[in-house]
Structure 1
Amino acid sequence: MMCLAAFGIQEAECQENGNTIWYDRPAGIWEETLPLGNGRLGMTPDSGIQTDKIVLNDITLWSGQPQDADKTDAHAYLPQIRTLLKEGKNKEAEAIINTHFVAKGAGSGNGNGADVPFGCYQTLGNLYLGFEHEGEKEMAVSDYVRALDLNTAVASCSYKMNDITYKREYFTSFDDDLAIIRLSADKGGMISLKIGMDREERFATYTRDSSLVMRGQLNNGTNGKGMRYLVKLKPLLQGGSLYAENNELLIKNADQVILFISAATDYKTDDYEAGIDRELENARKKTYALQKKNHIASYAKYFDRVNLRLGSSSRSDLPTDRRLEKFLKDKDDDDALASLFFQFGRYLSISSTRPGLLPPNLQGLWAKNVQTPWNGDYHLDVNVQMNHWPLETVNLSELSLPLKDLVAGMVASGEKTARAYYNSDGWVAHVITNIWGYTAPGEQASWGISNAGSGWLCNNLWQHYLYTGDENYLREIYPILKGVAQFYLDMLIEDPQTGWWVTAPSVSPENSFYLPDGEQTNICMGPTIDNQIVRELFTNILVASEVLDTDADFSAELSEKLEEIPPVAVIAGDGRIMEWLRPYREVDVHHRHISHLYGLYPGSLITPEHTPELAEAARKTLEARGDDGPSWTIAYKMLFRARLKDGNRAFELLSNILRPTTDTGINYGDGGGVYPNLLSAGPPFQIDGNFGATAGIAEMLLQSHSGIIELLPALPARWAESGWYTGLKAQGGYTVDVSWSNGEVTGFKVYSGSVESIAVKVNGTIRTIKTIKRRS
């Protein structure tokens, strides 16, 4: 764990345990449970006293199957749609799109796709531990504590009953790929329990060879023979007896019990059952102490890269749910809550993906239902992108690679979609996708035909190159980026009013506007987000082509087209950035999407330094939009404010995200926050708010998108007194450590692969400094 000894910060201070989430009672609802994950397997125990319900997850467990959802004759209607749009007959164009230009079949099932081919990310099931305690009828429970240590990725609970202290430890191992639970007491022979497993549907549970097994097959949306899964639990007892009874395991009077839980699906493998047995066998050869030690060491290789201190807290001795309630009323004396939330976001990233696996979906890794909200899929109009926004800056760069793999798997399907709907070369994805490579439009014109999804994903892929400078990686992603650019190059048409070349048809994600006759629609030509994405993508490919010394003719074609597409943004008469090509009036001025500020973040087309007028227009746009919304919306606004160097407003938005709630209903408007377990509440639970807020905090402390490394670019007054961080990353592969006092940088170091001169903005002044050769 690297610290700032040169700045007077001692190792003991760096290692103080401020990264613990804890409670003084069991979880009453799932949104109070503690999320554990090793990138593939997840579990969320409620740590109840009589019954501990533990929800299990596998990142690959999806219903549905690959499908052809393209309407192959859709492109025949494209000329008519475009003619109507050019004539201002958007509503008539929308009617044709709804009939001929959306997905074939059920599409996503309108977000309820568990039983259609699109499918749904699903919970693996429930594990139940039913305990017997000596004297529990006569004695009350005392000293209950339930906690998650972010430094170790180990959760625990302990309590006292009848003068006996019981303890449980849980972790999803980063060593052997399985979940482990240890049950113990401070008196021998006290561990007795019944163990069962189930799920809402499609399962069979039985016992075999002293193990508890659950298996099943999900619905593929056609013949019911979808993905297969298997879960196997094997106990290891110290003392006591083990029995099988009624498809459950019974343990009596053990001194200690270790539960090994292995699970897998047949996603991309037929060897999943043998793999489970191998994992269980390997795990049982190690002592619990060694297994836990190896797990912590493997996890710490990720987590320990970054340390952050934003100030002290007088409330760390409060349970986290009460700490949130107190913060809602009084922001003083708990600056450390923001750093805890930041590290929790990093923890969730580490826990919900790893190279070679799938990226985190709308629920990250953690789903409690068979039908998760919005299918728990990958939304391409902000959500999956936001899931990855913090990774480069917070020093978890390799965790962006699963998204690259997911995108690469969409290309073949996206090429068919591009031909079917636009008669275009290249490839396109619209608003939603899944593990099966879905690229067709959604089933409703109002949201489903946005073609920004594939272009937006290119920004995520490009960011990894900007932060690593890895030319081999650039060479790998270049065909993906080029394919999207080819699509846009083919499908752009000339707008008769402006002469600009724009996308058509399209939408500004999920937002609607009034036509001059008062009718409402979403369908348009050239929404601002599309124009910004096309401009950014074409420009990035010009850079890539030069670095890789390839495609000079294609680059020349892009350069020529760049002269004909709209500018980064157009400022309306009221000083705001126009969301659409025409001066339409939005139906909901506070709409949750703010897509026309894409150029401000995640793009770098709008900056206070280089485009001050556009930056001011972006500020006025945010003022009109307001500060509330679902949690992911608030996080996005926080990022915008950080890019505008408004640290105080960014802090206010962070405070909004940290509003506690237990509401689990569907919300499209105001009122986002966090659940007692710090998972973000749209509501319902969507993990993008966590990741967006983590990126926002990093953006307040370090920015490098405008050509220089800027230290503390949006530091709020609340954090100004003193603080430090180590290990944040800047574009170019630089690692940055900073300390500050009274809002001024008091010390900093920039590390790189070799000593070089770079520009750093420190306390408002740009300085040229020598980097330090990277520490080992």
Structure 2
Amino acid sequence: MCILFKKLLIFITLFSQIPGIAQQDLQLWYSNPAKQWTDALPVGNGRLGAMVFGKYDHERIQLNEESVWAGSKINNNNPQASAHLPQIQAALFKGAYKDALDLSTRYLVGTPPRVRSYQPLGNLFINYAWKGKAQQYKRSLTLNTGIAATEYTIDGNKIIQEVYASAPRDVIVVSIRATRPFDTEFFLSREQDTHEYKSNENMAWFNGQIEDTEDTLAGPGGKHMRFSGAMKMIHTDGKVSSLITDSSAGYRVKSARNIVLLVTGATDYNFDKLNFDASIDPLGICKTKLNNAAGFSPAVLKQMHVRDHRLFFDRVSFTLGEDKDALMEIPTNERLERVKSGATDHGAQARKTARELTAYLE
């Protein structure tokens, strides 16, 4: 996942700095929902991240929190490494590379040799009750604001869903606007290691603890990192009721035209100790962040986010040349395909430059 985001960062840095569209919204946009994780659009604030699929029927917003890792703190330094290092060096100086490799494989690898994996925090699912199919669909990531939007018309209703990760308030914000009242459901869920789902009028959340199986190649098993994910509805003109199942917690909203909710997550990881900390309350952290952010109106939250985002985004400009306005009306994926066929497109050419730079960095 780190490689994917490195590539995307280079792409965004180059693609977004084109004077021909510098006074407009700078967008990656698509005419269909994402079919897989790598097609979803990312938002993030450094601690929290989300991949927005843009599905108009059963939306999925996959959530990440930077410290959610399996495993536990261990010292995996190989105790035999220092004793065998001179032997490995001697083999290298003699040109006995196979012997050096064999010795290194036995005595320089960690004990255990592997680390366990980073894990997602969970998912926010949004279930809409539409009868028809979406028309005039557009899924976009506006680069200069850091906002992922999904827009479409369905059942005579114009829908605009926006998702962004606020750094100033350390929450992910999801807003939905419609021209007519609609019904929908929101669910927080995590596939494994979750032992509690709760929902009330103030908040919906889950609590869990990663339970690792014993693995001689990756370290001891047991109950390790504790985690929580939570959301809070801060604005709606509809009727809200709580929903809890064995595998999710959330809300049902009826007859709403405007909905704004906040999502966050936390773990019991202590960065100063580089270890778990029993004194840390992940759910308490979530509640504090959500309640603090709820003290601002949706408009102010968005304004704070955009201002903060642009302080960084607008620091650098980069150009490969201007494009015709007509190119802005073509989905990003189609523009890239046109370039492969030999068409001139300075914005999409930035993608090729990004790929070359990424290959160099790797």
TM-score range for the pair, normalised by the shorter chain length: 0.7 to 0.9
Q: Distance in 2 between matches of 1:19 and 1:161?
A: 26
Amino acid in the other structure paired with 1:57: N
Cα gap change, 1:132/1:205 in structure 2, threshold over 3 Å: closer, same or farther? farther
Deviations 1:463-486 (A, max 9, x none): xxxxxxxxxxxxxxxxxxxxxxxx
Amino acid in the other structure paired with 1:233: M
* TM-score (normalised: structure 2): 0.82
Q: CA deviation at 1:28?
A: 1.3
Amino acid in the other structure paired with 1:212: A
Alignment-derived partner of residue 116 in structure 2? 119
Q: Distance in 1 between matches of 2:289 and 2:244?
A: 26
Map 1:452-463; keep pairs closer than 5 Å: none
Range moving further from structure 2, 27-36 or 215-224: 215-224
Q: Across the two proteins, how many residue pairs are aligned to each other? A: 323
| Structure with the larger helix share | 1
Residue from 189, 192, 196 that aligns with 1:201: 192
Deviations 1:569-600 (A, max 9, x none): xxxxxxxxxxxxxxxxxxxxxxxxxxxxxxxx
SS state at 2:50 partner = strand
Q: CA deviation at 1:14?
A: 7.2
* TM-score (normalised: structure 1): 0.40
Deviations 1:325-364 (A, max 9, x none): 11111241x112245788xx8xxxxxxxxxxxxxxxxxxx
Amino acid in the other structure paired with 1:266: D
Deviations 1:630-671 (A, max 9, x none): x6xx4356x5xxxxxxxxxxxxxxxxxxxxxxxxxxxxxxxx
Amino acid in the other structure paired with 1:267: Y
Q: Distance in 2 between matches of 1:227 and 1:47?
A: 31
Q: CA deviation at 1:250?
A: 1.3
Alignment-derived partner of residue 337 in structure 2? 325
Query: Any conservation in 1 of the 2:199–2:244 contact (CA below 8 Å)?
Result: no
Q: CA deviation at 1:271?
A: 4.4
Amino acid in the other structure paired with 2:264: S
Query: Any conservation in 1 of the 2:200–2:242 contact (CA below 8 Å)?
Result: no
Query: Any conservation in 2 of the 1:18–1:316 contact (CA below 8 Å)?
Result: no
Q: CA deviation at 1:47?
A: 1.3
The answer to whether residue 60 in structure 2 is matched with residue 53 in structure 1 is: yes
SS state at 1:26 partner = coil
For structure 2, the 5+ residue unaligned runs are 1-18, 213-218, 271-276
Alignment-derived partner of residue 140 in structure 2? 147
Cα gap change, 1:68/1:202 in structure 2, threshold over 3 Å: closer, same or farther? same
Amino acid in the other structure paired with 2:31: D
Deviations 1:174-230 (A, max 9, x none): 22110010011012x22x112222233212352232322122112464242222111
Cα gap change, 1:246/1:123 in structure 2, threshold over 3 Å: closer, same or farther? same
Residue from 121, 128, 132 that aligns with 1:131: 128
Query: Any conservation in 2 of the 1:204–1:216 contact (CA below 8 Å)?
Result: yes
Cα gap change, 1:32/1:17 in structure 2, threshold over 3 Å: closer, same or farther? same
Cα gap change, 1:215/1:341 in structure 2, threshold over 3 Å: closer, same or farther? farther
Query: Any conservation in 2 of the 1:241–1:252 contact (CA below 8 Å)?
Result: yes
If you compute each CA radius of gyration, which structure gives the higher value, 1 or 2?
Answer: 1
Alignment-derived partner of residue 8 in structure 2? none
State, as a whole percentage, how many aligned pairs show the same letter: 26
Alignment-derived partner of residue 470 in structure 1? none
The answer to whether residue 90 in structure 2 is matched with residue 90 in structure 1 is: no
Alignment-derived partner of residue 215 in structure 1? 207
Q: Distance in 1 between matches of 2:259 and 2:25?
A: 30
Q: Distance in 2 between matches of 1:339 and 1:81?
A: 45
Cα gap change, 1:300/1:217 in structure 2, threshold over 3 Å: closer, same or farther? same
| RMSD (CA atoms) | 2.4
Query: Any conservation in 1 of the 2:267–2:282 contact (CA below 8 Å)?
Result: yes
Q: CA deviation at 1:21?
A: 0.5
Query: Any conservation in 2 of the 1:237–1:254 contact (CA below 8 Å)?
Result: no
Map 1:474-489; keep pairs closer than 5 Å: none
The answer to whether residue 343 in structure 2 is matched with residue 336 in structure 1 is: no
Q: Distance in 2 between matches of 1:175 and 1:80?
A: 54
Residue from 313, 317, 328 that aligns with 1:316: 328
SS state at 1:310 partner = coil
Amino acid in the other structure paired with 2:347: A
Deviations 1:400-456 (A, max 9, x none): xxxxxxxxxxxxxxxxxxxxxxxxxxxxxxxxxxxxxxxxxxxxxxxxxxxxxxxxx
SS state at 2:336 partner = helix
Alignment-derived partner of residue 26 in structure 1? 33
Alignment-derived partner of residue 238 in structure 1? 236
Query: Any conservation in 2 of the 1:313–1:337 contact (CA below 8 Å)?
Result: no
Query: Any conservation in 1 of the 2:230–2:283 contact (CA below 8 Å)?
Result: no
SS state at 2:223 partner = coil
SS state at 1:78 partner = helix
Query: Any conservation in 1 of the 2:145–2:309 contact (CA below 8 Å)?
Result: yes
Query: Any conservation in 2 of the 1:205–1:212 contact (CA below 8 Å)?
Result: no
Residue from 257, 260, 266 that aligns with 2:268: 266
Q: Distance in 2 between matches of 1:251 and 1:197?
A: 15
Deviations 1:279-303 (A, max 9, x none): 1112222111110000000111111
Alignment-derived partner of residue 9 in structure 2? none
Q: Distance in 2 between matches of 1:83 and 1:15?
A: 59
Q: Distance in 1 between matches of 2:177 and 2:358?
A: 44
Alignment-derived partner of residue 175 in structure 1? 168
SS state at 2:67 partner = coil
Deviations 1:93-132 (A, max 9, x none): 3223322332222x11xxxxxxxxx222111111111011
Cα gap change, 1:329/1:214 in structure 2, threshold over 3 Å: closer, same or farther? same
Bigger RCO of structures 1 and 2 (CA < 8 A, at least 6 apart): 2
Cα gap change, 1:209/1:308 in structure 2, threshold over 3 Å: closer, same or farther? same
Deviations 1:589-644 (A, max 9, x none): xxxxxxxxxxxxxxxxxxxxxxxxxxxxxxxxxxxxxxxxxx6xx4356x5xxxxx
Q: Distance in 2 between matches of 1:17 and 1:260?
A: 28
Cα gap change, 1:57/1:305 in structure 2, threshold over 3 Å: closer, same or farther? same
Query: Any conservation in 2 of the 1:215–1:231 contact (CA below 8 Å)?
Result: yes
Alignment-derived partner of residue 14 in structure 2? none
Residue from 300, 304, 310 that aligns with 1:294: 304
Q: Distance in 2 between matches of 1:68 and 1:140?
A: 55
